[in-house]
């Protein structure tokens, strides 16, 4: 394990493409390795619902770290999901979310990298100071898209914005979610349309996702052997953390 953890920012190309599903299931897949300390952070400050997905809405919250009312002394009390990763979620009162500066986001990222091997940030779909700072200072960025045209256009626009941030190395990697076996769209076509490498194609499986959500369970708990669950290992192959 590295001495300083790696940060992975997950950005959606459009609302509802599955950014939170990817972030949460990726965190659980990463945490499958018992020595790896994994943290999932909800940075979708106004609309985030990581806690709802996981059935875990406890303090300390990400806002408490961002506004300084929680600090590294509180790391041990960060709630843990039963699959092994820690979770910094949001409280329902986000009246001060407007005031979060880029500097506070950088401080949070540095604090968390000191204590975890991998920190996964759910950045939502908005391009704002918080999400762009997380993307800029993360070690990797994943843009989640579907195979549909509005999502592909959204991915391309977001990639264009990230390209202006002077990010060292690879600007972003693509993950296709809700892929349909008969879509006739190859990952290479998505790569060409958006202009970024595609590292995973997660199949559309409404039934398993719906049942898992209803039970507030992740795919790895609900259906560990299912194809949609195994698809997440494609992302891991590209992350050497
Ligand atoms: N691979 C998949 N197959 C089928 N359904 C999926 C898949 N991935 C996500 N979903 C479903 O899509 C819906 C939206 O997922 P999710 O909340 O992760 O999206 P989001 O992009 O984070 O949304 P938001 O823009 O609100 O943050 C959920 O009902 C989820 O179960
Ligand atoms: Mg979401």
Q: Report the pLDDT value the prediction gives residue 29, as an integer from 0 to 100.
A: 94
Q: Is the peptide bond before 225 cis (omega within 30 degrees of 0)?
A: no
Write out pLDDT tens, residues 172-203: 999 999 999 888 899 999 999 999 999 999 99
Write out pLDDT tens, residues 28-45: 999 999 999 999 999 999
User: Which ligand gives the minimal distance to the CA of 12?
Assistant: 1
Q: Report the pLDDT value the prediction gives residue 229, as an integer from 0 to 100.
A: 96
Say what the pTM is: 0.96
Residue 93 confidence class, pLDDT cut points 50, 70, 90: low
Is beta strand 140-145 parallel, antiparallel or unpaired with respect to 86-88?
A: unpaired
CA 166 → CA 35, 132, 169, 176, 202, distances in Å? 33, 12, 9, 25, 29
Cβ(63) to ligand 1 under 6 A? no
Locate the ligand 1 atom nearest the alpha carbon of residue 178 and give its number.
1
Alpha-carbon torsion, ordered 142, 144, 147, 151, to 10 deg? -120
How far, in Å, from the CA of 121 to the mean position of ligand 2?
A: 11
Q: Above 80 in pLDDT, residue 94?
A: no
Domains, the chain, ranges and CATH? 6-236 (3.40.50.300)
Quick one: which of 203, 202, 196 has its CA closest to 155? Answer: 196
Q: Report the pLDDT value the prediction gives residue 240, as an integer from 0 to 100.
A: 73
Write out pLDDT tens, residues 9-22: 999 999 999 999 99
How far, in Å, from the CA of 22 to the mean position of ligand 2?
A: 9
Instruction: Report the alpha-carbon distance of residue 7 to residue 36 in Å, rounded.
Output: 13
Q: Above 60 in pLDDT, residue 2?
A: no
Is beta strand 173-179 parallel, antiparallel or unpaired with respect to 140-145?
A: parallel
Locate the ligand 1 atom nearest the alpha carbon of residue 124 and give its number.
27
How far, in Å, from the CA of 34 to the mean position of ligand 2?
A: 26
Q: Closest Cα to atom 9, ligand 1: which residue?
A: 18
């Amino acid at each position: 394990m590295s001495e300083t953890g790696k940060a992975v920012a997950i950005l959606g190309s459009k609302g509802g493409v599955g950014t939170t599903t990817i972030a949460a299931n990726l965190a659980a897949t990463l945490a499958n390795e018992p020595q790896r300390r994994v943290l999932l952070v909800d940075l979708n400050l106004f609309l985030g619902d990581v806690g709802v997905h996981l059935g875990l809405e406890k303090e300390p919250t990400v806002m408490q770290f961002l506004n300084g009312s929680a600090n590294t002394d509180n790391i041990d009390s960060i709630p843990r999901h039963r699959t092994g990763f820690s979770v910094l979620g949001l409280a329902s009162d986000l009246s001060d979310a407007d005031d979060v500066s880029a500097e506070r986001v950088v401080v949070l990222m540095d604090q968390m990298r000191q204590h975890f091997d991998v920190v996964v940030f759910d950045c939502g779909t908005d391009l704002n100071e918080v999400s762009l700072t997380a993307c800029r200072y993360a070690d990797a960025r994943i843009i989640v898209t579907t195979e549909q045209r509005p999502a592909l256009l959204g991915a391309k626009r977001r990639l264009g914005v990230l390209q202006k941030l002077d990010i060292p190395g690879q600007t972003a990697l693509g993950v296709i979610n809700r892929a349909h076996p008969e879509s006739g769209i190859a990952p290479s076509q998505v790569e060409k349309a958006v202009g970024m490498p595609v590292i995973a194609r997660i199949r559309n499986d409404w039934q398993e996702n719906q049942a898992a959500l209803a039970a507030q369970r992740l795919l790895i708990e609900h259906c560990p052997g299912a194809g949609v669950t195994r698809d997440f290992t494609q992302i891991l192959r590209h992350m050497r953390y």
